[in-house]
Amino acid sequence: MVGERLWHSTQAIRKLKNDGSVIEFQAHLSGLEEITRWVLSWGSKAKVLGPPELKQRVREELGKMVQASE
């Protein structure tokens, strides 16, 4: 599970449900490329809350994936 591992030295994880099934993950990164790939690796189990630039990058990448599968 995401909440049980150290992914980044600056991470902060907050449980939104007591059982840990829903969390909020925060980290300070130098760029969005790495986190974009990481978010996409979680598929539909991930929801990007922000920043807006990350949300846009994930949307764009998902659109490219749909086009590639047609």
Q: What is the pLDDT of residues 44-57, one digit of tens each?
A: 989 898 899 999 99
Let me know whether 54 and 25 are in one domain.
no
Round to whole Å and give the CA distance between 60 and 31: 16
Let me know whether 21 and 49 are in one domain.
no
Of the candidates 21, 26, 20, the residue with the CA atom closest to the CA atom of residue 7: 26
Let me know whether 36 and 68 are in one domain.
yes
pLDDT of the residue at 27: 86
Let me know whether 24 and 56 are in one domain.
no
Would you say residue 5 has pLDDT above 80?
Answer: no
Of the candidates 21, 25, 23, the residue with the CA atom closest to the CA atom of residue 35: 25
For residue 17, give its domain range: 1-29
Helix (H) or strand (E) holding 33: helix 33-41
Would you say residue 64 has pLDDT above 90?
Answer: yes
pLDDT of the residue at 52: 96
Average pLDDT over residues 14-37: 87
The tokens 């449980």 sit on which residue?
15
Whether residue 3 contacts residue 23, with contact meaning beta carbons closer than 8 Å, is answered with yes
Look at the chain and report how many structural domains it folds into: 2
What percent of the chain is modeled with pLDDT above 90?
Answer: 40
